[in-house]
Amino acid sequence: MSATAPPRGNRLTDQFEAGLDAPICLTWELTYACNLACSHCLSSSGRRDPRELSTEQCKAIIDEFAAMQVFYVNIGGGEPTVRPDFWELVDHATTSGVGVKFSTNGYGITPEVAERLAGSDYVDVQISLDGATEAVNDAVRGVGSYRLALQAMGHLQAAGFRGFKISVVATRHNIPQLDDFQRLADDHDAQLRITRLRPSGRGADVWSDLHPLALQQRELYDWLVVNGDNVLTGDSFFHLSAYGESLPGLNLCGAGRVVCLIDPVGDVYACPFAIHDTFLAGNVIADGSFATVWRDSELFTELRSPQSGGACTSCEFYDSCRGGCMAAKFFTGLPLDGPDPECVRGFGEDALAERDAARPVPRPSADHSRPSRARPGLPRLPVLSAGPPQATAPAAGPPVKPCAEDPLAGFA
């Protein structure tokens, strides 16, 4: 990036660590409802939360983004396209000058929707796919999910949507498929995005079995060094920088500083991987506005103050990895001022082994999983096929019971 580093304190990352008046980008989970039940879901999605923000509340939040000059928002869920007002909200954002990148498992991407999306400069689409083959993908995301994703990718390509994203969470089982993912992206005129598996949400249950082995982390790093220029990573592998060369990106934890998460009921968390009361900064409705939470919450103020690296400070690589991911540490029961569980020097593994068995590992604060989910990774419900575009559906649905099992309850 730069030829020489200016004195510490004036670097861009130092400024970012002190926080900005508005996030650079933020993630907004629009709904916890989902047609899938991925075993590693960050937000433990499945059922809609009956307190979900209304269309008008969502539009008011978008208006705030526009006023704060948030360039774009990453919309996710759950499966955001199951909200009947989804396209209405996308239109509201784009006409307000707020770009939208939304993550989908392919559910709402019909040929007609793909045509519409291809015509918009302000909308980007991210198709989640966690295996380059049906077997590897469906083991994590559920039976039928590979075909659903590939179908959506086909529709986008046929519509001429170039450069949509194929979003892959790196796991023990798909790291051998990195080249296959790249081919899949090339074949669809798409761009590959690879992010880190976090032990958040239901991911806490499967992290030990799914997270890349130490050798695979090295394989991933080497692959990214060679191929990473055209691969997006959401800055999620900065803990691998300690292998040597920094990977492209900011290489800092942006939680509460340059990024945050808004959940379907308007709760604001420090980052998408930290849905837990410990990282809850406030609520856009209860606190009056998103800007109030972003600028004034105690939690974010604290995150923007100098952080202690604890034992990591003496490590020669601390400046590049910064102690790794806060959420990964938290949900594996490690102290926040110690090493990341996937520390490339192995200190994380040591710390995991030395965990105090008497001290419980924090659990996600809420679970929206459908009760029928008998075992993680093996969803029993059929994957719903892509439905018709719902651009003109009525905004407010009837009230639903908190215990409604249908992920689309209230959306009919």
Partner 1 sequence: MEAPITSEPATAAPVTTGSSPAFDRRAPWRLHPGVAVRPEPFGALLYHYGTRRLTFVKDPTLLRVLQSLEGSSSVDAAMVAGEVPPESRTRYAAAIERLAATDMLLPYDAPTGTEHPKGHP
Site residues (vs partner 1, CB under 8 A):
1-6, 12, 15, 20-22, 24-25, 69, 71-72, 97, 99, 118-119, 121-122, 124, 160-163, 191, 229-230, 232-235, 248-250
Residue 46 CB partners (closer than 8 Å, separation 6+): 32, 33, 34, 37, 78, 368, 369, 370, 373, 407
Joined together, the tokens standing for residue 251 give: 């290489």
The least distance separating partner 1 from the CB of residue 227, rounded to whole angstroms, comes to 12
**Minimum CB distance to partner 1 smaller for 230 or for 313:** 230
Give the whole-angstrom CA distance, residue 169 versus residue 165: 13
Joined together, the tokens standing for residue 54 give: 């209304």
The residue behind tokens 């965990």 is 355
**Minimum CB distance to partner 1 smaller for 2 or for 392:** 2
Q: Is 139 helix (H, G, I), strand (E, B) or coil?
A: helix
Write a three-state SS string for 326-379. HHHHHHCCCCCCCCCCCCCCCHHHHHHHCCCCCCCCCCCCCCCCCCCCCCCCCC
The least distance separating partner 1 from the CB of residue 2, rounded to whole angstroms, comes to 4
**Minimum CB distance to partner 1 smaller for 230 or for 372:** 230
**Minimum CB distance to partner 1 smaller for 7 or for 394:** 7
Other CB atoms within a 10 A radius of the CB of residue 364 amount to: 22
Amino acid at site 267: D
**Minimum CB distance to partner 1 smaller for 14 or for 406:** 14
The strand ranges marked E within 165-231 are: 165-170, 191-196
**Minimum CB distance to partner 1 smaller for 24 or for 391:** 24
**Minimum CB distance to partner 1 smaller for 178 or for 258:** 258
DSSP 269: E
The least distance separating partner 1 from the CB of residue 17, rounded to whole angstroms, comes to 12
Look at the alpha carbons of 236, 237, 241, 245 in this order and tell me if their dihedral is positive or negative: negative
DSSP H or E run through 186: helix 178-187
Cis amide leading into 78 (omega within 30): yes
The least distance separating partner 1 from the CB of residue 296, rounded to whole angstroms, comes to 18
The least distance separating partner 1 from the CB of residue 301, rounded to whole angstroms, comes to 17
The least distance separating partner 1 from the CB of residue 47, rounded to whole angstroms, comes to 32
**Minimum CB distance to partner 1 smaller for 130 or for 235:** 235
Q: Is 5 exposed, middle or buried (0-12, 13-18, 19+ CB in 10 A)?
A: exposed
The least distance separating partner 1 from the CB of residue 25, rounded to whole angstroms, comes to 7
Give the whole-angstrom CA distance, residue 198 versus residue 299: 21
The least distance separating partner 1 from the CB of residue 393, rounded to whole angstroms, comes to 27
Dihedral angle computed from the Cα positions of residues 97, 101, 107 and 110, in that order, rounded to the nearest 10 degrees? 60
The least distance separating partner 1 from the CB of residue 364, rounded to whole angstroms, comes to 27
**Minimum CB distance to partner 1 smaller for 122 or for 347:** 122
